[in-house]
Amino acid sequence: MAVNVETGPSGYEQGVARLLESYRAIPADGTVRLAKKTSNLFRRRERNPHPGLDVSGLGGVISIDPVARTAEVAGMCTYETLVAATLAVGLVPLVVPQLKTITLGGAVTGLGIESTSFRNGLPHESVVEIDILTGGGEVVTATPTNEHADLFFGFPNSYGTLGYSVRLKIELEPVKRFVELRHLRFTDLSSLVLAMSRIVDDRAYDGSGVDYLDGVVFSSTESYLILGRQTDDESIPLSDYTGDDIYYRSIQHEPSATPKPDRLTTLDYVWRWDTDWFWCSRAFGTQNPKIRRFWPRRWLRSSFYWQLIALDQRFTIGDRLSARRGRPPGERVVQDIEVPIDRTVQFLEWFLTNVPIEPIWLCPLRLRSAQPTADRATARVVAAASDRPWPLYPLAPDRSYVNIGFWSAIPATPGEPGRANRLIEQKVATLDGHKSLYSESFYSPAEFDELYGGRRYAELKAKYDPQSRLLDLYSKAVKSQ
């Protein structure tokens, strides 16, 4: 039986009415965009001269069905809100991206990933149906098998250029109360990737099941795989990385040392990276014990650090401080890329030699269409996806990949804006990989079309946004319009 929570059907319907009213208020020659104050994007955007879409009523959970293990969620609902509601009935989304303020609609249209992706794929693969406000001003329901199946499969990685999600129905999975962690240290990258590949295939390590898998590279001689296992065992003391202790530092240990047992509540595990925005909080001094002691705990979260980044972007604070010290301005290298798992070592070795950024996050993934399933609803989605792969981010369904994340700034090369980012794009392409489009991109139109849907995207654009009320993907991702 479905349980109505948060907004509930009536609140959701009022939110849809306000959304459509705001669409009609935008001039016919105006570009349609969201009126959204917060963002997890890292590319510059031109200011919109027109009022945006009112999504203020689309931020909640509509209902949860604990028996069917599904949830109906408004498109602007954050994962923080969603997980709080689903955990109350012992369930979570199949993939929960790392940051609390990522919205479900954003993770589907912009791609998300986390440590369950080696067994559950990407967030859009657990969507059963989705209501989308198209560029033409119509709300359509898209499923894998109905008349809007083309939009269902074309929507992921479209970044709001084919429409905006209004309601999503997604699958959930049961979880236990705790996650027990094992930290495996490696002194060479080849051994780490070999172990990762075996865990992806076996979903186990050393005779024990693995429910969560990601990793961190500190250098070519110090890297870790972090193995998580769901448990109700209370014998291991609980750790807390929401205050003084810093999660990513907890995984480090000497090669000969036995790592300490570590156990988190499921909620704390889901948000383990959010407290320090992985390791990016060090840029604000909050990892200094003298500062952290007085830093309000409510400000230990990614959404607050993002506000600081927005101020820096607006007033170029970092570049001004560098200039005072006689240093060049910085080139922001904030990217997530995917390469096949068998080419991961090649990319990491190249990156560590050419780009002075550490640590680096690793997250393996494999599309669900390559995974066995006994659930009939899931089987229908998986079968349809096998026949019609996600065209705007075309990963091979029978291949394992590794998401590699690196987020920092390096000294800019005079006269060559974006030099490091361009080199990364070129290297990723030679390795048959892709990169996410939430940050700056420098592709030519031809390169972009080859990687991100090309002709198929153009067909969807003509069908669902015939008057070009929405920006096209190249303009949004590369030209930063």
The per-residue pLDDT for range 333-380, each reduced to its tens digit, is: 999 999 999 999 999 999 999 999 999 999 999 998 655 444 545 555
Domains of the chain, residue spans: 3-174
Q: How far apart are CA 398 and CA 116, in angstroms?
A: 17
CA distance 464 to 471: 12
Helix (H) or strand (E) holding 107: helix 104-110
CB-based contact 441:429 (threshold 8 Å) = no
Residue 148 has pLDDT above 80, yes or no: yes
Residue 331 has a pLDDT of 87
What are the structure tokens assigned to 317, written together?
A: 């604070």
Where does 87-126 show beta strands of DSSP type E?
91-93
What is the tens place of the pLDDT at every residue in 194-235?
999 999 999 999 999 999 999 999 999 999 999 999 999 988
Whole-angstrom CA distances from 236 to 229, 231, 242, 260 are 13, 11, 18, 10
Name the residue among 193, 269, 217 with its Cα closest to residue 406: 217
Q: What is the pLDDT of residue 376?
A: 46
Q: Which residue has the higher pLDDT, 46 or 395?
A: 395
Who wins on pLDDT, 13 or 194? 194
> Which residues on adjacent β-strands are paired with residue 159?
none
Mean pLDDT score of the chain, rounded to an integer?
Answer: 88
Q: What is the pLDDT of residue 388?
A: 44
369: which 2 tokens? 């269409």
Q: How confident is the model over 112-131, as a mean pLDDT?
A: 96
Query: 58 is written with which tokens?
Result: 């689309």
Q: What order of strands is seen across the sheet that includes strand 434-435? A: 262-265, 178-186, 222-231, 212-219, 360-365, 401-411, 330-340, 434-435
Question: Which is higher by pLDDT, 10 or 240?
Answer: 240
What percent of the chain shows pLDDT beyond 70? 86
Confidence of residue 327 (pLDDT cuts 50, 70, 90): low
Going by C-alpha positions, the residue among 124, 96, 12, 10 that lies closest to residue 60 is 12
Token readout for 258 is 């036995």
Distance CA 433, CA 144 (A): 26
Is the preceding peptide bond at 328 cis, omega within 30 degrees of 0? no
Residue 452: is its pLDDT beyond 70?
A: yes
pLDDT digits (tens, 9 = 90+) for 16-64: 999 999 889 888 887 887 766 655 555 565 565 567 888 889 999 999 9
| Structure confidence by residue, pLDDT tens digits, 401-427 | 999 999 988 888 888 888 999 999 999
Residue 381: which pLDDT band, with cuts at 50, 70 and 90?
Answer: low
pTM over 0.85: yes
Which tens digit of pLDDT belongs to each residue from 270-309? 999 999 999 988 888 899 999 999 999 999 998 888 888 7
| Between 438 and 172, residue with greater pLDDT | 172
Please say if the pLDDT value at position 110 is more than 80: yes
Q: With beta carbons less than 8 A apart as the criterion, state whether 236 and 179 touch.
A: no
Task: Flag the least confident range among 44-58, 100-114, 210-224, 429-443.
Answer: 44-58
Could you tell me where the beta strands, DSSP code E, fall in 343-390? 360-365
| Alpha-carbon distances, residue 119 vs 34, 354, 371 (angstroms) | 33, 32, 7
First CA to last CA distance, the chain: 45
| Amino acid 479: pLDDT | 80
Question: Measured on CA atoms in the order 458, 462, 465, 466, is the torsion positive or negative?
Answer: positive
Give the pLDDT mean for 70-82.
96
Residue range 66-88: average pLDDT?
Answer: 96
Query: Residue written as tokens 């987020």?
Result: 407
Report which residue type is found at 17: A
User: What does the alpha-carbon distance between residue 339 and residue 401 come to, in Å, rounded to a whole number?
Assistant: 5
What size, in residues, is the chain? 481
For the cut 90, the answer to whether the pLDDT of residue 102 exceeds it is yes
Secondary structure of residue 204 in the 3-state scheme: strand
DSSP for residue 332: E
Does pLDDT of 169 surpass 90? Answer: yes
The answer to whether 155 and 470 have CB atoms below 8 angstroms apart is no
What is the Cα–Cα distance from 175 to 311, expressed in whole angstroms? Answer: 39
The reported pLDDT for the residue numbered 238 is 95
Q: How far is CA 314 from the centre of its chain?
A: 24
CA dist., res. 129 & res. 119, Å (int)? 21
Of 67, 128, 63, residue with least CA distance to 94: 128
Q: 3-174: what CATH class?
A: alpha beta
